A and B are shown apart, each in its own frame.
Chain A
Amino acid sequence: MIDKVKTARQFTEAIPHAKALGMKFTDIGSGTAEMRMPYDERFIGDPETRVIHGGAVYALLDTTCGAAVIAHPSNPGATATIGLRIDYMRAATPGQAIRTRATCYHLTRTVAFVRAEALDDDDTNPVATATGTFTVEGVK
């Protein structure tokens, strides 16, 4: 299990796009992952309100979901997103980091099912939720 966690961390931290967006792991468990992306003015989507662009939140959720799949104890290797849906419930508060939590709640020989949520400093009121399907590679 330790190796899985290490693999997920190494795999994700070697991603140029994740690095460009300042994403960091805060926790990896058995089929779960948590990440954080600090507020950055370059990621603003609405110049008037200074709210982060939904696309940056999407990228963080996608990465966290992928990491949760890799961190699943039954998953043998790498993964790719098949489909991912995001619901944006509210604007993220400008100036606050985005934190994401993803759980790979089901895994077949071919498909991994994941859900995730994105939060700012308000723990009880998510900014966005995501549900996605990911490939499972390398099972014989």
Chain B
Amino acid sequence: MSRKRPEPVQVVKQRRDDALAALVHGVPYIQFLGIEFDRRGDELTGILPYDDKLIGNPLLPALHGGATSAFLEVTAVIGLSWAVLWEELERGELDPDELIAGHLPRLPKTIDFTVDYLRSGLPRDAYARARVNRSGRRYASVHVEAWQDNRARSYAQATGHFLMPNRDG
């Protein structure tokens, strides 16, 4: 008897990255802000590359609070959605080719979002990671932190509640 050989690592990686890219690139506002995601296993890091149009205070200069909050919210929604998709992909319930072909799942809807601005956003790249504190059938609670040069010094953080998409429909 022979056990099925595991798939080559590059095939698995490519499939996961393609599924993630399909999810992220399907949203125009994520494209408008230029946000990308770096994946290491199931962990995602959002990246907001610096752009002049993100500036909110040209005198300092500093990033706009609205750009920062959108970055936090995008990271929270994609992080939450990815956590659910990851499970489904791993269990084989979801066909990654369907995702890649553009049959995207409905995204969670934000119910409320509370942002703490801890430091002024510097005119350079920003990074963010979300932590899903609770993900139920209907509601989820997500915390997200953003930093720039120094991981230990967050420049903004947020907590939000989300309405999960109906998975049956």
Contact = CB atoms under 8 A, between A and B. Distances in A.
Given A17-B67, A42-B32, A58 B113 contact: yes
Interface residues of A, number: 39
A53 B70 contact: yes
B168 to A, nearest CB: 17
Given A15-B57, A43-B32, A87 B112 contact: yes
Nearest to B102: A47
Contact of A84 (B29, B32, B65): B65
A66 B27 CA distance: 28
B120 A84 contact: no
Interface in A1-19: 14-19
A83 B115 contact: yes
Nearest to B113: A86
Contacts of A17: 53-56, 63-64, 66-67
Given A47-B26, A54-B73, A62-B66, A16 B55 contact: yes
A136 B14 CA distance: 50
A37 to B, nearest CB: 11
Contacts of A18: 56, 64
Contacts of A45: 27-29, 107
A25 B33 CA distance: 22
A53 B76 CA distance: 13
Interface residues of B, number: 39
Contacts of B54: 16-17, 20
A58 B73 contact: yes
A111 interface: no
B28 A44 contact: yes
B52 interface: yes
Given A58-B73, A85-B113, A53 B66 contact: no
A55 interface: yes
A48 B117 contact: no
Residue from the set A16, A48, A56 with the largest chain B CB neighbour count within 10 Å: A16
Interface in B27-56: 27-33, 52-56
A76 to B, nearest CB: 16
Interface string B105-116: 011011111111
A81 interface: yes
Contacts of B73: 53-55, 58
A85 to B, nearest CB: 4
Given A15-B58, A16-B58, A44-B28, A59 B69 contact: yes
State the 9 A-B residue pairs at the shortest beta-carbon distance, nearest first: A59-B66, A55-B70, A17-B64, A53-B29, A20-B53, A85-B114, A44-B28, A16-B55, A81-B65
8 contacts: A19-B53, A55-B33, A59-B64, A59-B65, A62-B65, A81-B65, A83-B114, A85-B112
